[in-house]
Structure 1
Amino acid sequence: MSGNLIITIGRQSGSGGKLIGEKLAEKMGVKCYDKELLSQAAKHSGLCQELFEKHDERPTSSFLYSLVMDSYSMGYAAAGYSDMPINHKIFLAQFDTIKKLADEESCVIIGRCADYALEDYPNVVSVFIAGDEKDKLERIKTLYNLNEDRAKEVIVKTDKKRSSYYNYYSNKRWGDPRSYDLCLNSSSVGPDGAVEAILAFAKLKQQWKNRK
């Protein structure tokens, strides 16, 4: 376990969470891991990257989740992930990769239950980015060249997928303020303002922790 500063970002679809994470990483002079995390996990586990993309932030059943956690606690992950089903392997490989990154460097990690994977790390700031519906719709319409109805569908489906994944694999609730150190509405402050707010909060959290 290291003293590296890790900022994890959960985000609503269309909130600009990825953009904010990238800007934040640039400001900090560190790497931002989003899809890049998948290639890292594939490299470290020896599994095909396409499998990670297929299962990326997709929920599984609570029964399978319990098997995953049982396997992890028994140390199967360290032994090449054993002969468990593929979705078990994908989750554990990402879980291990997130911890490996946190041990090696300060960085920003987007989604994928990173805040849960690193909950015992002292220098982690977990952030959730939300946004006003109008702004989220406009961002998705522009990003994917969609009409408003289709953009609404994308937002609903993406948020449902992310929340289901997070709720299955963590002991917290996606989007619940109690699950994060800081929740921000990007529509209120804009991407650059969100970056400044997160950095200021990280500094305050560090100062408060050092007083204890």
Structure 2
Amino acid sequence: MGLILNFWGTIKFVDIIEFLGTFAFAISGIRLASAKKLDWFGAFVVGFVTATGGGTLRDLLLNVTPFWMLNSVYAWCTILALGFVVIFRKALVKLNSTFFWFDSIGLGLFVVVGSEKALAFGYPVWVVAIMGTITGVVGGIIRDIMINEIPAIFKQEWYAVACMLGSLLYCSLYYLGVAESIVQIITAVFVFLLRLIATRYKLGLPFLKGEE
């Protein structure tokens, strides 16, 4: 009993956010993989890359060991996500917006994780914003390339923009002295709602026009 309490006592709120983000992003990747009729192993790979790709690039840029190599829980999160999709596949297929919901949830949670980690290393705000964005979007880019789709960042409303603004909000609240857990919750909800609003009202950046 004491060992269990000590274990839970070492878990930070940001760790819980990272676990939830991993689960949400893994489901979004596995859900798309199922639409491409990949087998279970292929779906696991797509889900794992979706959940860890952004954080891996972030950690390499920050010159630290990629987070998923230090704890097997991220692989187990992906396995759990695979089981979730297999068990509830019929319900997920009926919900056409499933991918959007899980992708948006994962996006908001990972922006928090990336921003928090860059701040912990003492980087300036502009680097924090980039790291938060990388953590949120790169996994999805790799996922879409693997399943032969145009990356969502290039075609969906305010995808990377939501990440960038979320990171800037995180920094602002952090330097204002707001409690860390409150900053994390507000930022994740902000990114999620911004994606929701942008998609609902088709808000996006102007398209770059080619030759007429």
Scaled by the length of structure 2, the TM-score of the pair is 0.31
Structure with more of its chain in strand, by fraction: 1
Scaled by the length of structure 1, the TM-score of the pair is 0.31
Structure with more of its chain in helix, by fraction: 2
Structure scoring higher RCO (CA < 8 A, sep ≥ 6) equals 1
